[in-house]
Chain A
């Protein structure tokens, strides 16, 4: 069975600085998709970025980028120029052949002014 591990329950970053959230996963599949979701205090889950496993190029969305290491089964999220509005829970998620999203336990990110 596939698993997703986020080893950092909490992280903190200074406003305007860069922070990296870690995610590793375990799978025997070769075709899958990876996602990072943001959940602010409003509770609305927001898709931040997605990565297709067959693409070697790392996905980028404005200040958000990933470091996808397929062999190491690692999928970290880098947030550049952190803003107060980035404070939230961040969830890493895997989607494979079964079609369901499997989530990590989340990382709570605090942004200090």
Chain B
């Protein structure tokens, strides 16, 4: 069974901390995505990557960065966590850019609280 694994289900961090959210997929997918989910706002794309060492900004990249050193791993980094980054973070992957008929495979999310 294919999987996208997010390292933490719940996370509590202090304001100003550097935070790493890890995502690993075992499907050899080229494309990986980080979304933020907030009530009433749906899912908003933060960053995505089409290949190792490649990254593209999504709709709300401010305050975030990403790292993709290996194909299976895509990390979301909060350089200096702030309370407005308290949210649910979802990672997803997809086999390749041309396969539009496939949906994404999602991880089970990391609920981050910044205090």
List the interface of chain A (C-beta within 8 A of B). Answer: 6, 9, 32-33, 35, 37, 42-45, 47, 50, 52, 91, 93, 95, 99-106
A100 touches B40 (CB 8 A): no
In the complex, the number of residue pairs spanning A and B with C-beta atoms less than 8 Å apart equals 50
Contact-residue size bin, chain B (C-beta under 8 Å from the other chain): 20 to 34
B31 touches A9 (CB 8 A): no
B101 touches A33 (CB 8 A): yes
Determine if B70 is an interface residue (Cβ-Cβ < 8 Å): no
The secondary structure that dominates the B interface is strand
Q: Which residues of B contact A37 (CB under 8 A)?
A: 103
Q: Which residues of A contact B40 (CB under 8 A)?
A: 9, 105
Chain A: which residue is nearest B98 at the CB level? Answer: A99
B58 touches A100 (CB 8 A): yes
Name the one of A45, A52, A101, A105 contacting B101, with C-beta atoms under 8 angstroms: A52
8 contacts between A and B (CB under 8 A): A6-B42, A37-B103, A47-B103, A52-B101, A91-B43, A99-B31, A100-B33, A103-B35
The 0/1 profile, CB within 8 Å of A marked 1, for residues 41-54 of chain B is 11111001000000
